[in-house]
Structure 1
Amino acid sequence: MEFANLIDNLYERGSANFAIKLGLSRIEELVQRIGNPQNKFKIIHITGTNGKGSVTKAVSDIFIGQGMKVGTYISPHLVSITERIKVNSTNISENEFVQTYIEIEDAIKAMDNKGVDFSPSFFEIMTALAFKFFEKEKVDLAVLEVGLGGRLDATNVVNSDVSVITSIAIDHTKTLGDSLEKIAYEKAGILKKDNFLILGNIDHAPKKVILDKAEEVGVKKIFEYNKDFRYENPRFHINENMLNYKGLKLDLNDLQFKANGTFQMQNVTISLAAAEAFAEKYGINLSVDKLRDSMKNFFWEGRFDYTEINGKKLILDGAHNVAAAEQLKNSVEVYCSNDKKTAMIGILNDKDYINIAKIISPIFDKIIITSVPTSRGKDPAAVFEEFKKWNNNVEFIPDTSEAFMKLFSEKSDVYFVTGSLYLVGKIKEYLSTNLIFSK
Structure 2
Amino acid sequence: MIHTYEEALDWIHSRLRFGIKPGIKRMEWMMEKLGHPERKFKTIHVAGTNGKGSTVTYIRHILQEAGYRVGTFTSPYIEQFNERISVDGVPFANEDLVKLVNLIKPLADELEDHELGSPTEFEVITAMSFYYFRHMAEVDIAVYETGLGGRFDSTNIITPLVSVITNIGHDHQAILGDSLAEIAYEKAGIIKHGVPVITAVAQEEAREVIVDVAKEKKSRLYQLSQELKISNYEATVKGESFFLNTPFGRLNDLRIAMKGRHQVDNAALAVMACEYVKNYYSFFIEEEHIRQGLEKAFWAGRMEEVSLDPLVVLDGAHNKEGMEKLAETVKDRYKDKHVHILFTALSDKPLDEMISLLDKVADTITFTSFDFPRAAGAEILSGKSKHPKKRAVESWENAVQSILSGLGKDDLLLITGSLYFISEVRTYFTEKG
- Normalised by the length of structure 2, the TM-score is 0.95
> Mean alpha-carbon deviation: is it higher for 293-302 or for 42-51?
293-302
- Structure 1: distance between partners of 2:293 and 2:182: 36
Question: Which residue is equivalent to 1:119?
Answer: 118
- What SS is found at the alignment partner of 1:163? strand
Question: Which residue is equivalent to 1:227?
Answer: 226
Aligned counterpart for 2:337 among listed residues 334, 339, 342: 339
Write out per-residue CA displacement over residues 30-85 of structure 1, whole angstroms, 9 at most, x where no aligned residue: 12111211111111100011111110111111111111111100001112111101
- Structure 2: distance between partners of 1:26 and 1:381: 41
What are the residue-to-residue correspondences of 1:236-255 with 2, within 5 Å?
A: 236-255=235-254
Does residue 205 of the first structure (1) align with residue 201 of the second (2)? no
Aligned counterpart for 2:394 among listed residues 389, 393, 398: 398
- Is the 2:355–2:384 Cα contact (8 Å) retained in structure 1? yes
Does residue 190 of the first structure (1) align with residue 186 of the second (2)? no
Does residue 348 of the first structure (1) align with residue 346 of the second (2)? yes
- Is the 1:349–1:377 Cα contact (8 Å) retained in structure 2? yes
Question: Which residue is equivalent to 1:360?
Answer: 358
Does residue 30 of the first structure (1) align with residue 30 of the second (2)? yes
Question: Which residue is equivalent to 2:260?
Answer: 261
Deviation for aligned residue 1:285: 4.2
- Structure 2: distance between partners of 1:307 and 1:253: 30
Deviation for aligned residue 1:10: 1.5
- What SS is found at the alignment partner of 2:280? helix
Question: Which residue is equivalent to 1:319?
Answer: 317
- Is the 1:34–1:107 Cα contact (8 Å) retained in structure 2? no
Write out per-residue CA displacement over residues 189-238 of structure 1, whole angstroms, 9 at most, x where no aligned residue: 0010111110114222111111111122232x211111111221222235
Question: Which residue is equivalent to 2:14?
Answer: 12
- What SS is found at the alignment partner of 2:372? coil
Letter in 2 for 1:3: Y
- What SS is found at the alignment partner of 1:386? coil
- Is the 2:151–2:190 Cα contact (8 Å) retained in structure 1? yes
- Is the 1:248–1:276 Cα contact (8 Å) retained in structure 2? no
Write out per-residue CA displacement over residues 227-263 of structure 1, whole angstroms, 9 at most, x where no aligned residue: 1112212222353321112222132211112111221
- What SS is found at the alignment partner of 2:383? helix
Deviation for aligned residue 1:23: 0.9
What are the residue-to-residue correspondences of 1:1-400 with 2, within 5 Å?
A: 1-15=3-17, 19-114=19-114, 118-136=117-135, 137-219=137-219, 221-308=220-307, 311-387=309-385, 389=386, 391-400=387-396
- Structure 1: distance between partners of 2:160 and 2:253: 31
Letter in 2 for 1:86: S
Letter in 1 for 2:226: K
- What SS is found at the alignment partner of 1:397? strand
Deviation for aligned residue 1:140: 1.4
Deviation for aligned residue 1:274: 1.4
Letter in 2 for 1:78: I
- What SS is found at the alignment partner of 1:246? strand
Deviation for aligned residue 1:395: 1.3
- Is the 2:63–2:289 Cα contact (8 Å) retained in structure 1? no
- What SS is found at the alignment partner of 1:370? strand
- Is the 1:239–1:258 Cα contact (8 Å) retained in structure 2? yes
Letter in 1 for 2:244: Y
Letter in 1 for 2:296: N
Write out per-residue CA displacement over residues 121-163 of structure 1, whole angstroms, 9 at most, x where no aligned residue: 0000000111111012111111000000000000001112211
Deviation for aligned residue 1:19: 2.6
> Mean alpha-carbon deviation: is it higher for 410-419 or for 106-115?
106-115
Give the count of matched residue pairs. 428
Deviation for aligned residue 1:119: 0.8
- Structure 2: distance between partners of 1:210 and 1:53: 21
- What SS is found at the alignment partner of 1:68? coil
Instruction: Work out the percentage of aligned pairs sharing the same amino acid.
Output: 30
- Is the 1:238–1:258 Cα contact (8 Å) retained in structure 2? no
- Is the 2:271–2:290 Cα contact (8 Å) retained in structure 1? no
- What SS is found at the alignment partner of 2:231? strand
Q: Which runs of 5+ in 2 are unaligned?
A: none
- Is the 2:8–2:97 Cα contact (8 Å) retained in structure 1? no
- Is the 1:232–1:245 Cα contact (8 Å) retained in structure 2? yes
- Is the 1:58–1:295 Cα contact (8 Å) retained in structure 2? yes
Letter in 2 for 1:173: Q
- Structure 2: distance between partners of 1:204 and 1:280: 30
- Is the 1:319–1:421 Cα contact (8 Å) retained in structure 2? yes
- Is the 1:34–1:104 Cα contact (8 Å) retained in structure 2? no
Write out per-residue CA displacement over residues 242-289 of structure 1, whole angstroms, 9 at most, x where no aligned residue: 111222213221111211122101111111111112222213342111
- Normalised by the length of structure 1, the TM-score is 0.94
- Is the 1:19–1:123 Cα contact (8 Å) retained in structure 2? no
Question: Which residue is equivalent to 1:411?
Answer: 407
Question: Which residue is equivalent to 1:421?
Answer: 419
Letter in 2 for 1:320: H
- Structure 2: distance between partners of 1:69 and 1:20: 32
- Structure 2: distance between partners of 1:159 and 1:364: 45
Q: Which runs of 5+ in 1 are unaligned?
A: none
